[in-house]
Amino acid sequence: MPTAAQKARESQGRQERANSPTGKLRAPNLASIYTKALRDIEAGDFSFRTVLVRPEKPKDDGRTIILDRATTSIEWTDASAVLSGSLTLHRPAPLAVSALPIKERHRIRLLVRWGGSWYRLWEMRVESDPEPTGSSGDVRVELADDLANLRQNERDWEFKKSKHRPDGWPPQAVARAVANREGVDAGKIAKGEARIKKLKRTCSGLEILMRVYAAERKKTDRKFVIRLRDGRLEIVPVERHKVLYEIKGMEIDYSTETGSPKKRRPTTVIEAKGRIGKKKVEVKVFREAILKRFGLSTAERSYGKVDSKQELKEKAMRELAEEVKVKRTAMLTIPGIPFMERGDTVRWITEEPGWSGPSFGTRDRSYAYITAVTHSATPANFTSSMTVSQVDPFLETGDDASKAQRDEKQGERDKRRQG
pLDDT digits (tens, 9 = 90+) for 70-122: 999 999 999 988 899 999 998 776 555 556 788 888 999 999 999 889 999 99
Contact 401, 96 (CB under 8 A): no
Share of the chain above pLDDT 70, in %: 79
What's the pLDDT at 342? 92
What's the pLDDT at 97? 54
Q: Which residues of 147-169 are buried (b: 16+ CB within 10 A; e: fewer)?
A: bbbbbeeeeebebeeeeeeeebb
Is pLDDT of 393 > 90?
Answer: no
Q: Sorting pLDDT into bands at 50, 70 and 90, what band is 315?
A: confident
What is the crossing angle of helices 205-220 and 398-418, to 10°?
A: 90
Is pLDDT of 26 > 80?
Answer: no
Answer yes or no: CATH 2.40.10 is held by domain 47-143: yes
- Give just the sign of the alpha carbon dihedral 122, 126, 130, 134: negative
How do residues 322-378 score in pLDDT, each as one tens digit? 777 666 788 888 899 999 999 999 988 877 767 776 554 455 778 889 999 999 999
What's the pLDDT at 397? 45
Is pLDDT of 419 > 70?
Answer: no
Is pLDDT of 203 > 90?
Answer: yes
What's the pLDDT at 409? 56
E-strand stretches of 242-310: 244-248, 253-258, 269-276, 279-286, 298-305
Q: Which of 309, 318, 323, 322 is nearest to 274 (CA)?
A: 309
What's the pLDDT at 91? 76
What's the pLDDT at 411? 58
3-state secondary structure of 209: helix
What's the pLDDT at 18? 54
Q: For the ranges 228-232, 253-257, 290-294, which has the lowest average pLDDT?
A: 253-257
Contact 312, 272 (CB under 8 A): yes
What's the pLDDT at 261? 44
How do residues 42-63 score in pLDDT, each as one tens digit? 877 899 999 999 988 887 777 8
Please give the CATH topology (third level) of the domain spanning 150-237: Phage tail protein beta-alpha-beta fold (3.55.50)
What's the pLDDT at 25? 46
pTM greater than the 0.75 cutoff: no
Mean pLDDT of 220-249: 86
Q: How far apart are CA 385 and CA 121, in angstroms?
A: 17
Q: Which CATH number fits domain 243-257+327-397: 1.10.1740.10, 3.40.640.10, 2.40.30.150, 3.40.50.720?
A: 2.40.30.150
3-state secondary structure of 290: helix
Contact 350, 359 (CB under 8 A): no
How do residues 117-133 score in pLDDT, each as one tens digit? 999 999 999 998 888 88
